[in-house]
Structure 1
Amino acid sequence: MPAARPPEVGARQAFFFDVDGTLLEIAATPSGVRVEEALIATIRRLHERTGGAVAFISGRNVADIDALFPGLRLPIAGQHGLERRDAAGALHHHVPQGVDWPGLKARIHTAFSDVEGLLLEDKGLSLAVHFRQQPALEGRVAETLQRLIAGTGDAVKLQPGKCVLEVKPAGRDKGTAIAEFMNEPPFSGRKPVFVGDDTTDEYGFRVVNEMGGDSVKVGEGKSAARWRLDDVQAVHDWLADILTASGR
């Protein structure tokens, strides 16, 4: 189990943050989240303090995160690493190979078109089926999606999350995204710190642990992370303490 609050950090860290459930409280729908100006200011100050070594690592797409955090335009890994904007602003996309991706997404939409209480979120390179409003539908959603992707072999996988199942190309996750960032400036040569709350973040925790970094789990539950923060507010308080200690 993860230990208590993360230790104090120094000047040579690289920070990676999940968004929903870590920096932002989870809402009933992805569009329902609220971003306070104080949080944007905190992230901006941390970005300045680290010489730009701060990135978002999220299941959301890059454009969605930019809209949530106007004016920041940080490095971002979106859709669990399927798209990534590096610190120089270059975009990297990992397009599904050997799969009729538009056709698969269309079949998923058709399969759930008459099911109330589900929200289908087409992110471009992945498709999420949210059942937060009807948790009892989880089994039906999982069974249907497994059937629909059965013909894709190992090219497509189901990614579970909090009240969501996501259909995405295999081979990319939050861990691979962090590893790519850590091979590039301004992240390379620094100690990685990754903060996340969901099962999708476990990939990132394991990679950061292998690099000798600090992995931080937000909330309850078994995790590979080395440290723990209780909730979103605890993350905000921890970030404020980091900036206070640095005198910025």
Structure 2
Amino acid sequence: MSADPSRLPPPPPPAHDWALFLDVDGTLLDFAPSPDGVHVPADLIDDLRRLHDAFGGALALVSGRRLETLDALFAPLWLPAIGLHGLQRRDGGFAGHEAPREIASVLAAARALGAKYPGVIVEDKGITIALHWRNAPAAEEPLHEFASSALIELPGYCLQPGHDVLELRPDGHDKGDAIIALLQSEGFRNRYPVFIGDDLTDEHGFEAVNARHGISVLVGMRANSAARHGLHDPGAVRAWLREAARLLAPEAVR
């Protein structure tokens, strides 16, 4: 684990034989007051398209969002992607999981609790529930207590912490699993894995690429990460991607 994220070196210049995996919120995109409030710059979509082509299609989003949401955010791009922290696959399946019937009552109870704390967002992702307190710091402890007790009603579920959010989700199938699965698929096989992420949910991805002698890149100043390279914030990530597109597809960058 890295002790001082401020001393992590930046990632090296890209190469055509990379397989590039990208987290979204806090990595490609700046955080917003609500998940629906994020902004996707038009030039980011252009750079992702150029890099997708330069890597022969081996560029994927690995996110906690649903695939349907990712596709809407990055339209007209339709990139290789994994959603819900590794649970959701591009084929529409949920990696062997189905939402239990009890999740409806847990969701209703979460919304009732959230209503007591203005600013709390209870995000229904179908098979998972995310509890956001970024705009209501006083709700952090009550939401943690609620989520812990909700596990009694949701056997096989676990708690996934993140930036001012706690998610109730089925256990297993993390971002590291997703990256390994993609590396075994056509278009990604025998490529050099690179993963850029910011949150605790991304640590499994860092460990997966490190084990395969790849490049792990932490975004931000969080300590105790397995990442071996660093970028300061999403703006620095977008600038790095812009330069990568210039280096790998110079004829395509205006």
Give the TM-score normalised by structure 2.
0.90
- Give how far 1:113 is off: 4.0
Could you tell me which of 111, 126, 129 is aligned with 2:128?
Answer: 126
- Give how far 1:105 is off: 2.9
Q: Matches of residues 1-248 of structure 1 in structure 2 within 5 Å?
A: 1=2, 3-85=8-90, 90-94=91-95, 95-96=97-98, 100-153=102-155, 155-222=156-223, 223-248=225-250
Change (3 A) 1:247 1:115: closer
Distance 2:158 2:68 in 1: 23
Deviations 1:50-86 (A, max 9, x none): 111011011111111111111111111111111121x
Q: Find the residue that maps to 2:77 and give its secondary structure.
A: coil
What is the percentage of aligned positions where both structures have the same residue? Answer: 41
| Code of the aligned partner of 2:167 | E
Distance 2:153 2:126 in 1: 20
Q: CA RMSD in A?
A: 1.7
Distance 1:199 1:68 in 2: 23
- Give how far 1:97 is off: 7.3
Distance 1:68 1:151 in 2: 33
Residues 117 and 131 of structure 1 are in contact (CA less than 8 Å); yes or no, is this contact kept in structure 2?
Answer: yes
Q: Find the residue that maps to 1:150 and give its secondary structure.
A: coil
- Give how far 1:107 is off: 3.6
- Give how far 1:140 is off: 1.1
- Give how far 1:32 is off: 0.7
- Give how far 1:9 is off: 2.3
- Give how far 1:180 is off: 1.1
Instruction: State how many pairs are aligned.
Output: 243
Residues 103 and 154 of structure 2 are in contact (CA less than 8 Å); yes or no, is this contact kept in structure 1?
Answer: no
Distance 1:104 1:52 in 2: 40
Q: Find the residue that maps to 1:16 and give its secondary structure.
A: strand
Distance 1:34 1:9 in 2: 26
**4+ aligned runs moved over 4 Å, structure 1:** none
Q: Find the residue that maps to 1:91 and give its secondary structure.
A: coil
Distance 2:100 2:245 in 1: 47
| Code of the aligned partner of 1:175 | G
Q: Gapped runs of 5+ residues in structure 1?
A: none
Distance 1:97 1:19 in 2: 24
Change (3 A) 1:214 1:239: same
Give the TM-score normalised by structure 1.
0.92
Distance 2:111 2:136 in 1: 17
- Give how far 1:208 is off: 1.0
Residues 192 and 214 of structure 1 are in contact (CA less than 8 Å); yes or no, is this contact kept in structure 2?
Answer: yes
Distance 2:249 2:60 in 1: 22
Residues 128 and 166 of structure 1 are in contact (CA less than 8 Å); yes or no, is this contact kept in structure 2?
Answer: yes
Residues 24 and 232 of structure 1 are in contact (CA less than 8 Å); yes or no, is this contact kept in structure 2?
Answer: yes
Q: Gapped runs of 5+ residues in structure 2?
A: none
Change (3 A) 1:108 1:123: same
Distance 2:55 2:93 in 1: 23
Residues 75 and 84 of structure 1 are in contact (CA less than 8 Å); yes or no, is this contact kept in structure 2?
Answer: no
